[in-house]
Copies of this chain bind each other. A is one copy, B any other.
Amino acid sequence: MRDQVRVVLYGVGAIGRMVAQHLLRRKGYIIVGAIDIDKEIIGRDLGNVVGIKATIGVEVTDMVDDLLGSVKADVVIHATSSYLKDTYPQIMRCINAGLNVVSTCEELSYPWLKYPELASKIDRAALEKDVTVLGTGINPGFLMDTLPIVLTAPCLRIDSVKVTRMMYSGDRRISYQKKIGTGLSKKEFEEKIKTKEITGHVGFFESIAQVASALGWSIEEIVELPPEPVIAERELKTTYLIVKPGQVAGLRSIAYGVVNGKKVITLEFISHAGIEEPYDEVIIEGEPTIKERIIGGIHGDIGTVAMIINIIPKVLAARPGLLTMKDIISISASLGDVRIHLPRARLY
């Protein structure tokens, strides 16, 4: 059997740690490096940081170029920031070290429309170094782009695509509950919208651009409305705090894409502590109309970690360049030893 897939973690925060925990349990993977800027974990062994084993022989480091320049690896799992302005130099360092990249960076999931120059630079560098770069996750990456794209396959005509994520937030990470304004007053919420401490969902723009591109629609305009607070009507208990009636339970965000003067792609993200029946829904109006629903929805963190891990063999087998989900071979879980999924991959 071929060598194990050698992975570097770039970003050992909440998602990076979950990825590490799962990779350490899976066959066919070996983690060979870990990068973070958090002084609390620099110098500590990754096994200890993620709580799986006392030591795995990999110390977390902030010496990015030293590590990337010397490590023998196949792929970097990159999970540091949602924004391409932050992640662009990090991604380029990985590419220049000759490493494939799978990133959770939301704006990397389809950067061609918002950042065409950065996207071209990443693409050219990746082609030159013969590596593949992909941004993915549960959303963007699956629920509001890949899944609706796949669901259009049985359609002869499409008038519009609408996706709604109705997500219960009361059991999510505390940092997430804060991010959607849980427990704030309406005034505090509106203040934090102004200061951009509350941004709503990041990835609407990219998902709309990707769906339009997959369908062959020329998008004229993408509009992201500011998030609105959802006010609690009754007391709501979460893992973070108790939301009193009149306080903010979470938020509602909406964005749409315009083609030929019509709103043809609408994405709605509703996340608060009072949702009793969460779901993820896709409605494609056309011939035929398709009404699809995932009952209970998909947990964001688990979904993102799974997307990242399942896509690794697809990325290693893909053509070089900056890819987006619509360029990837039909996606699926990759169970068992990852190496059985790699008949033609370029491994170190």
Contact = CB atoms under 8 A, between A and B. Distances in A.
A330 B326 CA distance: 5
A306 B154 contact: yes
A152 interface: yes
A318 to B, nearest CB: 10
B154 A298 contact: yes
A171 B346 CA distance: 51
Contacts of A104: none
Contacts of A155: 306, 310, 333
Interface residues of A, number: 54
- In the complex, which of the residues A146, A216, A289 has the most CB atoms of chain B within 10 Å of its own CB atom? A216
Interface in A299-313: 299, 302-303, 305-307, 309-311
A158 interface: yes
Contact of A332 (B150, B157, B292): B150
Interface stretch (A31-39, A56-64, A235-243, A335-343): A335-343
Does more than half of chain A's interface fall in helix, strand or loop, or is it mixed? mixed
A296 interface: yes
Q: How many copies does the complex hold?
A: 2
Contacts of A336: 216-217
A327 B326 contact: no
Contacts of A156: 22, 302, 305-306, 309
Nearest to A150: B150
Contact of A154 (B157, B217, B303): B303
A223 interface: no
B150 A216 contact: no
A158 B294 contact: no
A344 to B, nearest CB: 10
A18 to B, nearest CB: 9
Contacts of A307: 153-154
Contact of A334 (B216, B289, B303, B330): B216
The 6 lowest CB-CB distance pairs between A and B, nearest first, are A152-B333, A154-B303, A149-B332, A291-B295, A153-B331, A216-B336
26 contacts: A22-B156, A146-B150, A146-B153, A147-B150, A147-B151, A150-B330, A152-B332, A152-B333, A153-B311, A153-B333, A154-B298, A154-B303, A154-B310, A155-B310, A214-B330, A214-B332, A215-B333, A215-B335, A216-B334, A217-B335, A288-B303, A326-B329, A326-B330, A328-B330, A329-B330, A330-B330
